[in-house]
Amino acid sequence: MDLKQLIDTDRLPKHIAIIMDGNGRWAKQHGQARVFGHRNGVKAVRETTEAAAELGIKYLTLYAFSTENWGRPKFEVDALMTLLVDTLHKEISTLNKNNIRLEAIGDLSKLPSSTYRALLEGIANTSTNTRMTLVLALNYSAKWEILEATRQMAALVKDGKMNLEDINETTFANALSTRGIPDPELLIRTSGENRLSNFLLWQLAYAEFYFTPTMWPDFHKEQFFQAIIDFQNRERRFGKISEQVV
């Protein structure tokens, strides 16, 4: 059965976030170095991005590299950064062909200069695309993001440019790196891990979570469609009771 046909396109989540996990373990299962898993994970990124665009998803955020990932072996980190640069150079034409805009969140200035330049070039070269926005979370930490937003607002209050009474959920959200982007309605995490790992802690407050044992390199369109079908079969109450939602 074609799972895509089971999806109600009138009830799609506007924003899906994915924690792409399991590349290293997938490589180990295949008797290869961890970098082999990361390279094969790029194929899953391409297929999932194209599937999201085909359905009409407006925002897709991928957790590509966390601040904690700097603690991995230097060889793996260097290989990841090189792979990111190569992938950006190769995939920009595909993004443009599919009318997909590239954005990024995180402490981007701390990335290696070659990675940072490639990222900025990709963002600039796709800036006029309108079909879907692909957001890469790079050198990202939700705790860092929340602290940065707090510092920004504290500075505004200190300088007399904002009153304490002006601080609310809306103004705080606008100080986050995801300002202008709707909160994810669905979070997908692969490889069987059941945690958020410091990812979009504010934005995921009312998201539906979908955990799958599938390793990221084996995550294809059908698995993506299954996650959306599962999402559409849930009742989202936002603190209310079922009768109120109906």
**Cα radius of gyration rounded to whole Å, the chain:** 19
Report CA torsion sign: 193, 194, 198, 202. Answer: positive
Q: Nearest to residue 179, comparing CAs of 59, 52, 50, 12?
A: 59
Q: Is 21 in the active site?
A: yes
Catalytic residue among 2, 8, 10, 21: 21
Instruction: Please tell me what DSSP assigns to residue 186.
Output: E
* Residue in the structure block whose two tokens are 């070659």: 114
**What is the C-alpha to C-alpha distance for residues 60 and 42, in angstroms, rounded to an integer?**
15
Backbone angles phi, psi at 111, to 5 degrees: -70, 155
SS3 99: coil
Question: How does DSSP assign 114-142, residue by residue?
Answer: HHHHHHHHHHHHTTT--SEEEEEEEEE-H
Q: Is 159 in the active site?
A: no
Catalytic residue among 69, 96, 125, 129: 69
**What is the C-alpha to C-alpha distance for residues 5 and 97, in angstroms, rounded to an integer?**
24
Angle between helices 74-97 and 34-55 (to 10 degrees): 20
**What is the C-alpha to C-alpha distance for residues 95 and 174, in angstroms, rounded to an integer?**
27
**What is the C-alpha to C-alpha distance for residues 73 and 128, in angstroms, rounded to an integer?**
38
| Active site residues per annotation | 21, 69
